[in-house]
Chains A and B, each alone.
Chain A
Amino acid sequence: MKTLKFLIEKEFKQMFRNPLIANLIIFFPTMVLLVFPWAITFEVNNIRVDVVDHGKGSYSKRLTDKVEASPYFILNDTPPDYETAMQAMERGEIDMIVEIPTTFDRDIVKQQSSRVGLAVNSVNGSVGLLGSNYMTQIVNDLSRELASELLHKTSHAQMKAPPSLPRLTIEQRYRFNPQMDYKLFMIPGFFVIILTILCGILPALNIVLEKENGTIHQINVTPVHKAWFILAKLIPYWTIGLIAFIIAIFVAYLIYGLWPAGSIFTVLFSGIVFIISVSGMGIIISNYSETLQQAAFLVIFFILIIILLSGMFTPISSMPIWAQAIAAINPFTYLTSALRMIYLNGSSLADVSTNLLMLALFSLLLNGWAVLSYKKRG
């Protein structure tokens, strides 16, 4: 136990002599939160559209205007025919073609209905799907407007009782994140990434570096207990991880106004339980790598799987069963969902207790494995 003090002292001295560390604590969380939330978004904006207007009437002009005014679309051009527009799509200049028929205005006046052609480039699936949804909304919107205008006119002119037109609309209310802001949804995920890099990856690389330098040999030949050696390695990284986490929380508040609807202490407590589990994972990786290259490869391999199968970017419920099984044994899953619950739903410690119990279980398993797989004797 007494030796632990000397080992921790050594790790802190080495850490603060490394100029990278100060940058990591302050700039790393700040940069991640400044940049990533804008880049990683599932909102589809700026869909480029060509409108081929064969009718050239006042109603078809209104539809074109509506497309142009929409925040989702950029009106690229209004070419004279479909072929020209198709060529533009083939060149990758546009994502969507709206084709308005010659009879558009007349059909609306006579039959109160018309058809609009929609061609979407679905190479990028989400642009295709969301783009056509947005466009359908615009068309529906216009048809509703026109219907009420026409109804108005006819009822005035002919003084007939207006025909009852039953209309069902779905009114959606988005709870907990009323603006449907993806940034707010993603930020807890970035907290998880920050903690993983500082508390999982860095100590792993540090230990492998000692292997490469040979200094770990000098430690292994002493009577120091391996659990103390590992603990002394981790404590400094837990400390900077926690500091960076707090900085990240404040940066998220200052820039995005995001503050946990639940208790900040629940947020920090969840973070601490996660930190312990993820650092165990890092130590395991370092125990199975002899060189930095090997360790870096393993880290990249596992990080990709772990992040993609954590529900951070895509909902777990829509994954195939085998992927859901991996997500269920992934610490990331539990912290990401716990943080989202506390931040957006205002969940309490009791509400996230299942998540925290799972994380505690991972901490126990992973760190146990880490100590067992650390070999002082080859």
Chain B
Amino acid sequence: MGNVIEVRGLTKRFGNFTAVDRISFNVKEGEIFGFLGANGAGKTTAIQMLCGISKPSGGTGTVAGFDINKESEKIKRNIGYMSQRFSLYEDLRVWENIRLFGGIYGLSEKVIAEKTDELLERLDFASERNTMVKSLPLGWKQKLAFSVAIFHEPKIVFLDEPTGGVDPAMRRQFWEMIYDAAERGITVFVTTHYMDEAEYCDRVSIMVDGRIDALDTPKELRRTHHAASMEEVFTQLARQAKRVE
């Protein structure tokens, strides 16, 4: 299997501050790639460069086969994006949000209608079809936002702390959805705060002060760092951080 993301020396500077400092990594097709790091380590900035909403200050790379410096609009056609904060329109109904984003990605009316029915059925959400998004509980909003992010069958989906603020049961359900998507061949690029979630990933990278300090399978990371859990690995690395938030 080839790489869907290849990045060399990716850098983002804001004035004198280097948020992302020459990171290089590959993400393989179909894998669940965990992108870890403490607050302020530069995760979100890195994701935004990969998604084409932030211009890199330096470095090269491709996402879904397109140049991150020159072809950001082509990249956008092939990815899905979801974050904890930036999600759906609260004053639109469930079906209206699905329809809007389906339409934006160029799906036809017919395909949208069919896929909406199928999606709501699968999520056991049919009764909420006409509910305004603002009156859904947070966990449901996140499930819906994820479903909307992969509605157009992208090659890669970027999830920026998708499970923030919900209970463990809801998080488990959410990860089942992530596994489903990965099984359908969608590459998942996910950032998280929860170290138990890191264990669910195929490979994990850990960012410290804008650099990637470790990148491997959770098992290998535990072994090389002589740690019993990802939690320990993370604490060992994060302790070296010099940046003050």
Contacts of B106 in A (CB 8 A): 2-3, 223
Known contacts A214-B86, A217-B83, A221-B81; A378 and B101 CB within 8 A of each other: no
Tell me, in angstroms, the Cα distance from A377 to B92 when the chains sit together: 26
B96: Cβ under 8 A from any A Cβ: yes
Interface readout for B78-111 with A: 1 if CB under 8 Å, 0 if not? 0101010111111110001001111111100000
Given contacts A2-B106, A215-B86, A215-B89, contact A10 B100 (CB under 8 A): yes
Evaluate contact between A10 and B86: CB separation under 8 angstroms.
no
Q: Which of B49-57, B113-121, B233-241 forms contacts with chain A?
A: B49-57
A residues near B90, Cβ cutoff 8 Å = 213
Q: For the complex, what is the distance from the CA of A219 to the CA of B89, rounded to whole Å?
A: 11
Query: Is A7 an interface residue, CB under 8 A from the partner?
Result: yes
Whether the pair B103, A5 counts as a contact (CB closer than 8 A) is yes
**Given known A-B contacts A3-B106, A221-B52, A377 and B72 have beta carbons under 8 A apart:** yes
**Are B87 and A218 within 8 A (Cβ)?**
yes
Contact of B52 among A13, A14, A377 (CB under 8 A): A377
Q: Which residues of B contact A91 (CB under 8 A)?
A: none
The answer to whether B91 touches A14, judged by C-beta atoms less than 8 angstroms apart, is: yes
Q: For residues 99 through 145 of chain B, which have their beta carbon under 8 Å from a beta carbon of chain A?
A: 99-106
Q: With a CB–CB cut-off of 8 A, which chain B residues contact A167?
A: none
Note all chain A residues with C-beta closer than 8 A to B85.
214
**Chain B residues with CB under 8 A of A2:** 103, 106
State whether A221 and B99 are in contact (beta carbons under 8 Å apart), knowing that A6-B104, A376-B53 are contacts in the complex.
Answer: no
Nearest Cβ on chain B to A224's Cβ, whole angstroms: 5
Please, how many angstroms separate the alpha-carbon atoms of A17 and B89 in the complex? Answer: 12
* Residues of A with C-beta under 8 A to B53: 217, 220-221, 376-378
| A6–B54 CA distance with the chains assembled, in angstroms | 26
Interface range, A side: 20 to 34
B41-91 residues at the A interface, CB under 8 angstroms? 48, 51-55, 72-74, 76-77, 79, 81, 83, 85-91
Kindly identify which residue among B74, B76, B92, B96 contacts A221, using a CB–CB cutoff of 8 Å.
B76
Given known contacts A2-B106, A377-B53, is B76 in contact with A10 (CB within 8 Å)? no
Q: Which residues of B contact A5 (CB under 8 A)?
A: 103
Question: Which residue in chain B gives the minimum CB-CB distance to A225?
Answer: B73
A58 at the interface (CB under 8 A from B): no
Task: Report yes or no: B99 in contact with A6, Cβ–Cβ below 8 A.
Answer: yes
Contacts of A10 in B (CB 8 A): 89, 92, 96, 100
Please, how many angstroms separate the alpha-carbon atoms of A217 and B92 in the complex? 17
User: Hey, what's the 0/1 contact readout for A38-52 against B, CB within 8 Å counting as 1?
Assistant: 000000000000000
The answer to whether residues A377 and B55 also contact, given A13-B92, A215-B89 and a CB cut-off of 8 A, is yes
B86 CB contact (under 8 Å) in A3, A17, A18, A218: A218
In the assembled complex, A158 has its CB within 8 A of some CB on chain B: no
**Would A222 and B86 count as touching, CB distance under 8 A?**
no
Q: Which residues of chain B have C-beta atoms less than 8 A from A213's C-beta?
A: 90
Give bound CA distance, A161 to B133, whole Å. 98
Given A2-B103, A222-B104, A378 and B51 contact (CB-CB distance below 8 Å) = no
Chain B nearest CB, measured from A78 CB (Å)? 67
Q: Which residues of chain B are within 8 angstroms of A3 by Cβ–Cβ distance?
A: 103-104, 106
* Chain B residues at the A interface, C-beta cutoff of 8 Å: 48, 51-55, 72-74, 76-77, 79, 81, 83, 85-92, 96, 99-106
**CB-CB nearest 8 A-B residue pairs:** A6-B103, A214-B86, A217-B86, A221-B81, A223-B76, A223-B77, A222-B104, A220-B53
Beyond the given pairs A214-B85, A215-B86, A376-B53, 4 more chain A to chain B contacts, judged by CB atoms under 8 angstroms and listed by A's residue number, are A2-B103, A10-B100, A215-B89, A376-B72
Write the residues of chain A forming the contact surface with B, with a CB cutoff of 8 angstroms. Answer: 2-3, 5-7, 9-10, 13-14, 17-18, 213-215, 217-224, 376-378
